[in-house]
């Protein structure tokens, strides 16, 4: 798997090398957690209108993009869905420590296909009666922040032991969301912002925020960033960027 991440980084590096100097000066590349897709794309469009700088993205599970950034992928900015992976790339020397800021927070919800929107009781019986012989979609509970938050919440609610064998771990939280939207799984645990982004799911339960570590999104400029990366981070504190995050179901941080 590590070789795959290095190979991907090499492909990105080759693409960057082939870009003209003008292209490099007029483009920022962001590697970000999948759950930030809607917010960052909206903020990036606003930034492009103001500055003329194009913003391009690579969205995936935080573990995947962190390893790519660590391997030298040509990212100007890295956005994580938790502090653990930001600490990982910081210790690897892939980001500039003094540029790290928290840009937003999030919450967890349980979603079901919109055709089955009845509220769910956060009990073992409540989950098992809805699941039947099927599984609960989550992001990978060992490596992906959304999955780790979900596991922590289920453990705190005394549900994990009964549900561990019924989990369907996915590569990232947006894939977990999509499986519910398509009706492939009857329930999923995702971020509240994901539920807003997908019209084919309904929120059937809100997971208490005190049942898991705070969900935060730290961002940083990489050590190979081009000019303008710090300016983009500063732009995220403007009213229009903050509104883009709120519209996507996230809570911008002052």
- Cα-based torsion angle of the residue sequence 177, 45, 79, 95 in order, rounded to the nearest 10 degrees: 160
Q: Does 62 count as an annotated binding residue?
A: yes
Q: Does 253 count as an annotated binding residue?
A: no
Q: Does 43 count as an annotated binding residue?
A: no
The structure tokens listed for 32 are: 């970000």
Based on the number of CB atoms within 10 Å of its own CB, is 238 exposed (0-12), middle (13-18) or buried (19 or more)?
middle
Q: Does 146 count as an annotated binding residue?
A: yes
Helix (H), strand (E) at residue 22: helix 21-25
Query: d(Cα 59, Cα 15) in Å, to the nearest integer?
Result: 17
Q: Does 64 count as an annotated binding residue?
A: no
Antiparallel, parallel or unpaired: β 251-252 and 187-191: unpaired
61 contacts 190 by C-beta, under 8 angstroms: no
Q: Which residues are annotated binding-site positions for molybdate?
A: 35, 62, 146, 173, 191
Q: Which residues are annotated binding-site positions?
A: 35, 62, 146, 173, 191
């Amino acid at each position: 798997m590590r070789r795959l991440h290095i190979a991907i980084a090499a492909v990105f590096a080759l693409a960057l090398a082939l870009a003209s100097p003008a292209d490099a000066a007029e483009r920022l590349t962001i590697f970000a957690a999948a759950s930030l897709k809607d917010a960052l794309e909206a903020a990036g469009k606003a930034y492009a209108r103001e500055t003329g700088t194009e913003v391009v993205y690579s969205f995936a599970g935080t573990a995947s993009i962190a390893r790519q950034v660590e391997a030298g992928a040509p990212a100007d900015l890295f956005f994580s869905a938790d502090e653990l992976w930001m600490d990982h790339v910081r210790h690897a020397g892939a980001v500039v420590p003094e540029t790290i800021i928290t840009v937003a927070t999030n919450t967890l919800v349980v979603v079901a296909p919109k055709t089955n929107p009845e509220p769910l009781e956060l009990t073992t019986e409540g989950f098992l009666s809805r699941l039947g012989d099927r599984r609960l979609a989550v992001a990978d509970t060992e490596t992906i922040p959304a999955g780790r938050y979900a596991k922590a919440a289920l453990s705190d609610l005394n549900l994990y032991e009964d549900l561990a064998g019924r989990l369907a771990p996915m590569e990232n939280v947006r894939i977990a969301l999509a499986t519910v939207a398509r009706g492939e799984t009857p329930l999923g645990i995702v971020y509240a912002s994901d539920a807003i982004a997908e019209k084919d799911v309904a929120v059937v339960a809100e997971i208490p925020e005190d049942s898991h570590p705070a969900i935060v999104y730290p961002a940083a400029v990489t050590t190979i960033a081009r000019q303008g990366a710090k300016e983009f981070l500063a732009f995220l504190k403007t009213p229009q960027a903050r509104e883009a995050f709120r519209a996507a179901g996230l809570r911008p941080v002052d």
